[in-house]
Chain A
């Protein structure tokens, strides 16, 4: 079974631009969660989608948004990029929603904002 895939793997943007990151979960998995990883803040939860609905949201500004499609693939969007948005963005998928389901992480998309 193929693992979680994320595209693109690397991205360079400038302040004020917007960016869309994509995540394809493991086949059969219906829950997708997004995390931001930075050296200073560590891993922080952004949001979770399950059956095309946002189940939970972390403490991030409204510039961070996401969605999930009927095939469970998910995208996250960051508008009006700031320097502080530079980070590794990780996607994790699980069969169902809830912590009793093991989450499988992808390799991440490294976003650099100049």
Chain B
């Protein structure tokens, strides 16, 4: 069975600091990879996704993620965070053979201070 690990449970950064959130998955086959974000009081929404091709993918709001197959990782990055990035971030993977099923990590709570 697939599993997803997010090692950082709670991250506190000052505005303008750089962000990197770790995500590792266990499945050895072909996977699709996602980062979702949940802002306070809002729905889960898709930040970015990787299916194939260029392992560096760009998403909304200046976020990007790099897929490193040899490390089973899909880390999320942002060069300079803003206070409005305060949210919970979830990494998710999907085995294309399992239809729409997403396996989520436990999430990382990001707090950005002014």
Contact = CB atoms under 8 A, between A and B. Distances in A.
Given A99-B32, A99-B94, A100-B32, A45 B101 contact: yes
A58 B51 CA distance: 23
Given A99-B94, A106-B43, A107-B43, A50 B104 contact: no
A101 B51 CA distance: 11
Interface size class of A (residues with CB under 8 A): 20 to 34
B43 A58 contact: no
A98 B99 contact: yes
A42 B106 CA distance: 5
B99 A43 contact: no
A68 interface: no
Interface residues of B, number: 22
B98 interface: yes
A48 B104 contact: no
Interface in A70-111: 90, 92, 94, 97-108
13 contacts: A43-B90, A45-B103, A48-B101, A50-B99, A92-B44, A94-B100, A99-B96, A100-B96, A102-B49, A103-B100, A105-B43, A105-B44, A106-B43
Contacts of A106: 43
A35 B51 CA distance: 22
Contact of A102 (B46, B101, B104): B46
Contact of B100 (A42, A43, A55, A107): A55
Nearest to B34: A99
Nearest to A39: B106
A33 interface: yes
